Amino acid sequence: MTIPPFKLERYYALYEFKASIMLSSSDCESLSMAEVLDMASPQNLDIWKNLRLGYTETQGSPMLREEIARKYGNIHPDNIMVAAPEELIFIAMQTLLTPGDHVIAMAPAYQSLYEIAASNGCSLSFWHLKPTGNGWTADPNELNSLITPRTRMLVMNFPNNPTGYLPTREQFDAILKIAQKHGILLFIDEMYRLLEYDPADKLPAVCDVYEKGISLAGLSKSMALPGLRIGWLATQQTELMERWLAYKDYTTICNSAPSEILALIALQNQDSIVKRNLEIIRSNIQRVTDVFTRYKHLINWMPPRAGSVAFPQWKGKMSAEELCQQMLERYSVMLVPGSLFDHPGVHFRLGLGRKNFAAGISLLEKLMSECD
């Protein structure tokens, strides 16, 4: 299998550890080791101190899987496999698809969600999110029109990276109905779930509501712990587990023992971690809304409905690539252009979860003031 470079990740590799301010990053301000250990119950602290650094169970620690299963309504710990989120996308696409299958993926989206399938000889159609004057939308009727007799899987990502799009419950039900009607797999990347700004907008996890649904979730985004490299696949389809485990023997074999315990501690404190992250995001959204309202002639803000990223439209004379390059060269602020998401419009991604967001936005404002 040959696979094209992952554009976003290659761009990050160039600048992530050089730039002073990451104004595009999708993860929330990372928690420190001390912050996580401070949340631990005496029992977990004891496990932590006496932890042996050996190999762990391929499927993931049973204690961790039990804690994860408690977050769902219909999922047994045996129906969960723990690994790094990106690894799980790879394993899922490699094991669930065969060359010649047709896959429909939403766009724009994180590249691996469609690239692995394409590189594996699957044919691909995109269900495009559409920019509106006030955010992003998508039409389930268009999704329906893309279905062919060979369609094997729908690949979605809600809340969406990079747009912050979250379907309404009505749209979600329509997507579910399409998958059910055709009996096709519905893979939803739910890495940004729990970061709904209005709790009423929270959608069910697809693994809970559809027997052919597969949820990808993890600690990297809404839980501010990307360095743990912990995520999971959850599904009611018991028969998939053996295939996933057999494949994982060729990727990482098992997870890091310290990461699994820290993940358990974090999940037992999920509500307070998510609350902290939403507070950071809300305050950053307020700040950026004020600034972008003043610069309406240069930016169409397109506010997200959920998650820790937004994908505003740039209306200035220079290209989005030039804008991002200038921010890097002049202010050491990293922004990523929309072209890294194979998106034809003139957009850039904004990360809303970091504590130094205000400093980055002030520098963007400074640059925009010179574009007037």
- In the complex, minimum distance from the CB of residue 171 to ligand PLP, in angstroms, rounded to a whole number: 18
**Binds ligand PLP by CB under 6 A, chosen from 60, 77, 85, 338:** 85
**Binds ligand PLP by CB under 6 A, chosen from 86, 201, 208, 365:** 86
Instruction: Measure Cα distances from 208 to 165, 257, 297 in Å.
Output: 21, 28, 44
DSSP state of 309: E
| 231-235 and 80-83 beta bridge pairing | antiparallel
- In the complex, minimum distance from the CB of residue 228 to ligand PLP, in angstroms, rounded to a whole number: 9
Number of residues that bind ligand PLP (CB under 6 A): 12
**Which of residues 164 and 298 has its CB atom nearest to ligand PLP in the complex?**
164
Stretch 135-174: interaction string toward ligand PLP, x if CB under 6 A: ----------------------x---x-------------
C-alpha span between 131 and 314 (Å, rounded): 12
**Binds ligand PLP by CB under 6 A, chosen from 19, 93, 129, 191:** 191
| 151-157 and 102-107 beta bridge pairing | parallel
> For residues 89-127, b (16+ Cβ closer than 10 Å) or e, as one string?
bbbbbbbbbeeebbbbbbbbbbbbbbbbbbebebeebbb
Closest to 160 in 3D by CA, of 203, 210, 110: 110
Closest to 343 in 3D by CA, of 294, 282, 302: 302
In sequence order, what DSSP letters do the residues of 33-82 get, joined into one string?
HHHHHHT--HHHHHHHHT---S---TT--HHHHHHHHTTSSS--GGGEEE
Query: Which run of H or of E encompasses 366?
Result: helix 357-369
Q: Which range touches ligand PLP (CB under 6 A), out of 34-42, 63-71, 83-91, 265-273?
A: 83-91
- Half-sphere exposure of residue 68, counting CA atoms within 13 Å on the CB side? 32
- In the complex, minimum distance from the CB of residue 132 to ligand PLP, in angstroms, rounded to a whole number: 22
Site for ligand PLP in 9-48 (CB under 6 A): 26
Q: Which range touches ligand PLP (CB under 6 A), out of 78-86, 121-129, 143-151, 293-301?
A: 78-86
**Which of residues 25 and 269 has its CB atom nearest to ligand PLP in the complex?**
25
DSSP state of 161: T
C-alpha span between 172 and 122 (Å, rounded): 25
- In the complex, minimum distance from the CB of residue 256 to ligand PLP, in angstroms, rounded to a whole number: 14
C-alpha span between 162 and 200 (Å, rounded): 22
Residues in the chain: 372
Backbone angles phi, psi at 306, to 5 degrees: -165, 165
- In the complex, minimum distance from the CB of residue 211 to ligand PLP, in angstroms, rounded to a whole number: 23
**Which of residues 215 and 220 has its CB atom nearest to ligand PLP in the complex?**
220
- In the complex, minimum distance from the CB of residue 189 to ligand PLP, in angstroms, rounded to a whole number: 5
C-alpha span between 73 and 95 (Å, rounded): 25
- In the complex, minimum distance from the CB of residue 50 to ligand PLP, in angstroms, rounded to a whole number: 28
C-alpha span between 317 and 330 (Å, rounded): 18
Check binding of 186 to ligand PLP (CB under 6 A). no
**Which of residues 219 and 278 has its CB atom nearest to ligand PLP in the complex?**
219
- In the complex, minimum distance from the CB of residue 262 to ligand PLP, in angstroms, rounded to a whole number: 14
Site for ligand PLP in 222-281 (CB under 6 A): 226
- In the complex, minimum distance from the CB of residue 217 to ligand PLP, in angstroms, rounded to a whole number: 10
**Which of residues 311 and 331 has its CB atom nearest to ligand PLP in the complex?**
311
Stretch 287-326: interaction string toward ligand PLP, x if CB under 6 A: ----------------------------------------
- In the complex, minimum distance from the CB of residue 86 to ligand PLP, in angstroms, rounded to a whole number: 3
Q: Which residues would be at the binding site for ligand PLP (CB under 6 A)?
A: 26, 84-86, 110, 157, 161, 189, 191, 218, 220, 226
